[in-house]
Structure 1
């Protein structure tokens, strides 16, 4: 079942009261500063990606493929191996808050969402001023939305805390054939 309530408001700002627009020179200087910072960042990011690509390429060359998981071969010690099989565990994964205890499970992921009000702001600029629309709707969110930051707080209050937090519970021991 999808549940959604919406509300919206409109505000008009007089251009005489709005802050002055920056000059072309100011915009040019800001653009140059952004460009000066973006070039080294792009270089560093590309260098990092090249290192990752090189590492993965080397691993692909050195991998020992089609290794049987049912027998341990000491010849493959300290090697990157690839094997296929069914993973299993002899332990249970437990979420104590909800009393969930599952066997033959490697992971439980508890994802918590709460229906909350969210504000969507839309602005339209013109020579007559700035028109601002605020739309309020309820959406399922995994994190808290602070209603105190809304333009229209009344009638759009959200709880101050989540009823419980999302967590991941992993099995401590898992096996793939003879491998742990």
Structure 2
């Protein structure tokens, strides 16, 4: 831990190798999904590297201190992914419909919204699955392009391109429905 506090990469690597299996197990018990546990472990070791100088030997053992970081990062990951929904098929249609519903809308308004939501869902379904997922995360889950890129483990430029192209396709699809 002292070496990591001094930003000694070799010492940090040894700390990682000695503690990561146990800390990964902790994250996996909390998150129950390998990819989420890996995400939490990575974020934890970044935090450990950044804050190793703040570790106080007299307050806790190194493993206890690192376990607390992993637990907290795991809960952060859990909160971020809790409301994540797959944007396919019926689940997507239901999500679109729920998003567009207005509790005080008249029956005529509801019919119009329902028609527009169905048109949007049909146009979204025509997109490539990965592009549809990126657009859904950005617009239905209100994530920034950077957050979408992190969530999908893709370069930011790729995500921006997918979303921009998808919006053009959606526009073309929706305007084609209205005029045709």
TM-score normalised to structure 1 length: 0.23
Judging by fraction of residues, say which structure has more strand. 1
Judging by fraction of residues, say which structure has more helix. 2
Say which structure, 1 or 2, has more relative contact order (CA 8 Å, 6+ apart): 1
Instruction: Find the structure with the greater CA-based Rg.
Output: 1
